[in-house]
Amino acid sequence: CEPLLLVASFSQAEELVCRQRGDPENPQLSKDGDIMLGGIFSFHSSWKERRDTYMHKPLPLECTSLNFREFQFAQAMLFAIEEINNSTELLPGISLGYKMHDTCGSIARIVSVALALANGNEIVPAPSDAPCTRPAQVQSIMGETSSSLCMAIATVIGPFHIPMISHFATCACLSDKTKYPSFLRTIPSDYYQSRALAQLVKHFGWTWVGTIRGNDDYGNKGMAIFTETAQQLGICLEYSVAFFRTDPPDKIQKIIDTIKSSTSRVIVAFLSHMDMEVLIHELSHHNLTGFQWVGSEGWILDSQIAKIDRHHILDGSIGLSIPKAHVSGMREFILNVKPLNSSSNEIFTEFWETLFNCKFKQSSAENQRECTGNEDLTGVHNGFTDMSLMPIFNNVYKGVYAVAHALHSILGCNETCNNKVQLDPFKILQHIKKIQFKTKDGDEVYFNEDGDPAAKYEIINWQPTQNDIVDFVTVGLHDASLPADKQLNLHNKSLIWAKNSKQVPVSVCSEKCAPGTRKVLQKGKPVCCYDCIRCAEGEISNITDSITCGRCHPEFWSNERRDACVKKVAEFLSYEEIMGALLTAASLFGTCMTAVVALIFFRYRKTPIVRANNSELSFLLLFSLTLCFLCSLTFIGRPSEWSCMLRHTAFGITFVLCMSCVLGKTIVVLMAFRATLPGSNVMKWFGPTQQRLSVLAFTLIQVVICIVWLTISPPFPLKNFKEFKDKIILECDLGSAVGFWAVLGYIGLLALLCFFLAFLARKLPDNFNEAKLITFSMLIFCAVWITFIPAYVSSPGKFSVAVEIFAILASSFGLLICIFIPKCYIILLKPEKNTKKSMMGKVAPKPF
């Protein structure tokens, strides 16, 4: 259609006039009044396709498919106007008129209608000195139902600031006042509905869903907000397809194939009722049942859709609807409709004939009864008599009353109104934005800065009854004005789900990860698709769907299920365990054995074998060996500060004392045989006093080393977490490794010196040469401590302590057995050899 424009032109009489270009747009329903309101409704939902040749002027649009719902909306507007005109409190003395147009859902037609409501169709003479302009024909426009159509109307009339109030257009884009400055609505914006739907889906734990949206502004913009909110809430979309009622069969088949192949069991449908009717018809052919549907307010409360759903595809659906409403007198008014007296009103004639399936007299149709105009709606059940959309009728009603209250304020109405006030659409628009009132049934009406009302929804559940009639049960509320955690409020009512199930459907890409596991995303898939991986050793997760495993404190370890940290077992060489008990027994046995030897030596202290080679050094050696055996006990038990410092220093000092005594005895052997040479007085240089001093000097050196070690960096108790993952090794840290190896090295140095000197004296002539015994003992001592080093370094945990104790005991037993047992054998079993003569007897040396 060509747009309707006012242009200045000359007629044949050369008279200057303002006329519109294009065909005039006449209203389908109209009534004169002091103040005119416009109404735009799609009385028809479609039109016949045509092919323009561009050789002739296109014919007017031929509309088809009468839409009873739009007639209901028009009746609601008429009811509100009649009620206001009959009121003595609102606009007294002022009558409201109306002009209602049918757009057939065509954007081209709707632009033409919008301009017609703004301009009028009359030819108006214009003086040469006056501009070709005049006030708008209507002061406000009610409608349309579709968001896309409303965007077209608002774009056309926006520059003229003519208020437009929609009852059902919910697209969030219409809240943009820079694009649509004169648009208002009495239904909440999809911004709130889309977010509420996402919260509803999240509430039931559905994180893997499919979506179907209308391929128009309502569906695309609404689904965009839903998708954004869903992502924030951790909901993933398996698929998102667009559908429009005029789509070709191959595109519809692709949508059906997508649904069939999907793994999600929940479908969020953001569709208008007209799109949903076509979609359900197509789905019925394929028997696509078992899916849980979540619906927008565009169709969730539509009883006509429930009637055509004969395959029960939508049973158990849940969704959002604007709150139920009751307008006293409106139902009776709508059902009391009568045909207009004028037979020229084609739209009403068509409506009446379709409503009662009859034809008026002027029709020549056969096999159809004749319409009388007095038909009664009692007992008639169709889309027009269905009052389930009363909340939407109420929106139309509130829109008309909003305009009336704004006019009441502008005209300064009290008992009468000031008729002389020049009405200006811009002024009316500003007053509408500021109004706040309550309807006769208590509904509060106001608009925010975006021209939107308060966002409140009811949560509707489709519950089929025994008569195959769907009951729309309100199971909860959603109020966007409340804090986020309190917006969604479900009542304690039993819900019916898909296939009449009482159990909440499960729709997830991956099952929840149990405690003890963590989520690992599957490559190339949304974040809702993941694998559950068991936490590694030492890590736990104690919540469901954990994305990470937390590491346990060093003193704790993960249990078998990996869902809790348990305290690690503290491991150290204790007296209670078998190894500790055996080593303790060996230590005590060595101590007792040394004590027995000492008693034997003391009992036979005056015998030659005891007196030989300085008995004082022998007793001191036995004392030091006793300390060596006992010092091993400091290595057993829970490490503490004093035990860590004592064990290494006591070990170092007692062993140096022991080595000093052995070294002294070795030197005495060498000196004694040299003293037998003629003219030798070497023994006076290494007599008892010198022997004592040498032992003291050698021992003091070790004492100094230990004091320096304890002063600079002493050993301390340490919890070793590195050796074993599931155990704590309680050990003594050396503090200074240099100090430890200095103590050990000094002992080794003395041992090597003893071995060297004893080896030199091994062939000296004597029946009882103690140098041989010392050589054997030093061989054992050095062998033990040489093998100790790699064994100590490589042994884990308490076994390193056991290795050190074993080395102490083995070397101590070696010294005790090699040096003293042969003497005890002679003392106790061969007393005849325990004589000075036998001891000094000269014999040929045996090779060694």
Residue 733 has pLDDT above 60, yes or no: yes
For residue 674, the model assigns a pLDDT of: 58
By CB atoms closer than 10 A (0-12, 13-18, 19+), residue 712 is: exposed
**Region of 406 on the Ramachandran plot (φ > 0 left; ψ -120 to 50 alpha; else beta):** alpha
The arithmetic mean of pLDDT across residues 12-31, rounded, is 69
pTM, two decimals, is: 0.67
Model confidence pLDDT, tens digit, residues 109-141:
899 899 889 886 555 555 544 455 556 689 999
DSSP-derived secondary structure for 608-645: HHHHTTTHHHHHHHHHHHHHHHHHGGGGSSS--HHHHH
Number of other residues whose CB lies within 10 A of the CB of residue 526 = 16
Select the highest-mean-pLDDT range: 393-402, 521-530, 813-822: 393-402
pLDDT score of 686: 59
- Scan for tokens 């001093």, then name that residue: 693
What is the model's pLDDT at position 19?
A: 62
What confidence score (pLDDT) does residue 13 get? 44
Q: How far, CA to CA in Å, does 436 sit from each of 132, 410, 453?
A: 37, 14, 11
Report the 10 Å Cβ neighbour count for 262.
Answer: 17
| Mean pLDDT, range 239-254, rounded to an integer | 92
| Phi then psi dihedrals of residue 229, to 5 deg | -65, -40
Alpha-helix runs per DSSP H in 676-687:
none
- Omega prior to 375 cis, within 30 of 0: no
Rounded to whole angstroms, how far apart are CA atoms 802 and 745? 20
* Alpha carbons 838 and 768: distance in angstroms, whole number: 8
Helix runs in 761-829, H state only: 770-794, 798-829
What pLDDT was estimated at residue 678?
A: 52
Domains 190-321+455-490 and 578-768 share a fold: no
Q: In terms of Cα–Cα distance, which of 778, 780, 775, 802 is closest to 791?
A: 802
Ramachandran sector of residue 405 (left: φ over 0; alpha: ψ -120 to 50; beta: rest)? alpha
Question: Above pLDDT 90, what percent of the chain?
Answer: 41
Residue 115 near residue 156, CB atoms below 8 Å: yes
**What's the confidence (pLDDT) of residue 479?**
93
What pLDDT shows up at residue 3?
41
Average pLDDT of span 259-272: 94
pLDDT given for residue 12 in this prediction? 45
Q: What is the mean pLDDT of residues 312-325?
A: 93
- In DSSP notation, 348-406 reads HHHHHHHHHT-B-TT---SSSPBP-S----TT--STTT--TTHHHHHHHHHHHHHHHHH
Quote the tokens at residue 798. 């308490």
Q: DSSP code of 656?
A: H
Distance CA 270, CA 294 (A): 9
Q: What is the secondary structure of 591-605 as a DSSP string?
A: HHHHHHHHHHHHHTT
Q: How far apart are CA 115 and CA 110, in angstroms?
A: 9
At 434 the pLDDT is 93
| pLDDT score recorded for residue 766 | 53
Report the percentage of the chain scoring pLDDT > 70.
89
Residue 738 and residue 705: Cα distance in Å, rounded? 10
Q: What is the pLDDT of residues 158-214, one digit of tens each?
A: 999 999 999 999 999 999 999 999 999 999 999 999 999 999 999 999 999 999 999
- Number of Cβ atoms within 10 Å of the Cβ of 135: 12
Element (DSSP H or E) covering residue 669: helix 641-675
Q: Give residue 717's identity as a one-letter amino acid code.
A: P
Question: Residue 767's pLDDT is what?
Answer: 47
Mean pLDDT of 231-242: 94
**pLDDT tens sequence across 421-480:** 888 899 999 999 999 999 998 999 999 999 999 999 999 999 998 887 899 999 999 999
State the average pLDDT over residues 64-78. Answer: 91
Mean pLDDT of 236-262: 93
Q: Which amino acid makes up residue 823?
A: K
Backbone angles phi, psi at 157, to 5 degrees: -90, -10
**Selected residue with higher pLDDT from 1 and 396:** 396
Distance CA 537, CA 80 (A): 73
CATH topology for 578-768 is Rhopdopsin 7-helix transmembrane proteins (1.20.1070)
Per-residue model confidence (pLDDT) at position 120 = 66
488-490 and 470-479 as β-strands: parallel, antiparallel, unpaired? antiparallel
> For residue 683, what pLDDT is reported?
53
* pLDDT band, very low/low/confident/very high, at 839 (cuts 50, 70, 90): low
With cut-offs at 50, 70 and 90, classify the pLDDT of residue 841: low
Average pLDDT, the chain: 85
pLDDT at 259: 94
pLDDT at 566: 92
Question: Per DSSP, what are the bridge partners of residue 460?
Answer: 319, 474
* 100 pLDDT above the threshold of 70: yes
Q: Under a CB-based contact definition with an 8 Å cutoff, are residues 289 and 311 in contact?
A: yes
Does 14 score more than 90 pLDDT?
A: no
Q: Is 87 helix (H, G, I), strand (E, B) or coil?
A: coil
What lies within 8 Å, CB to CB, of 782 at 6+ separation is 748, 751, 752, 755
Of 83-87, 210-214, 685-689, 823-827, the least confident: 685-689
Homologous superfamily, domain 29-48+61-188+328-339+385-446: Response regulator (3.40.50.2300)
The tally of CA atoms less than 13 A away on the side-chain side of residue 145 is 27
Position 4 confidence tier, pLDDT thresholds 50, 70, 90: very low
- What does the angle CA 575 – CA 581 – CA 583 come to, to the nearest 5 degrees? 110
Of 22-31, 503-512, 835-844, least confident by mean pLDDT is 835-844
Phi/psi of residue 685, each to 5°?
-85, -10
User: What per-residue confidence (pLDDT) applies to 408?
Assistant: 94
**CA atoms 637, 643, 644, 646: torsion sign:** negative
> What contacts 799, CB < 8 A, 6 or more positions away?
none
* 33-37, 207-211, 568-572, range with the lowest pLDDT: 568-572
Give the CATH H-level superfamily of domain 190-321+455-490.
Response regulator (3.40.50.2300)
Give the residue, 225 or 721, on which the prediction is more confident.
225
What is the Cα–Cα distance from 482 to 456, expressed in whole angstroms? Answer: 10
Residue 318, pLDDT above cutoff 90:
yes
**Residue 406 phi/psi, 5° resolution?**
-65, -45
Res 121: pLDDT? 56
> Chain-centre distance of CA 592, in angstroms?
70
- The C-alpha atoms of residue 268 and residue 276 are separated, in whole angstroms, by 12
Q: What is the CA radius of gyration of the chain?
A: 54
Q: Give residues with Cβ within 8 angstroms of 204, minimum separation 6.
A: 504, 505
Separation of alpha carbons 271 and 218, rounded Å: 8
pLDDT for res 791? 81
Nearest to 42 by CA among 2, 13, 6, 74: 74
pLDDT of residue 10: 43
**Contact 605/656 with Cβ under 8 angstroms?**
no
Residue ranges covered by each domain of the chain: 29-48+61-188+328-339+385-446, 190-321+455-490, 517-567, 578-768
Amino acid at 80: A
Q: Indicate the DSSP class of residue 104.
A: T
**How far apart (Å, rounded) are the C-alpha atoms in residues 701 and 795?**
30
Joined together, the tokens standing for residue 419 give: 């008729």
DSSP 584: H
Question: Packing angle between helix 147-157 and helix 217-232, nearest 10 degrees?
Answer: 110
Q: What is the pLDDT of residue 256?
A: 94
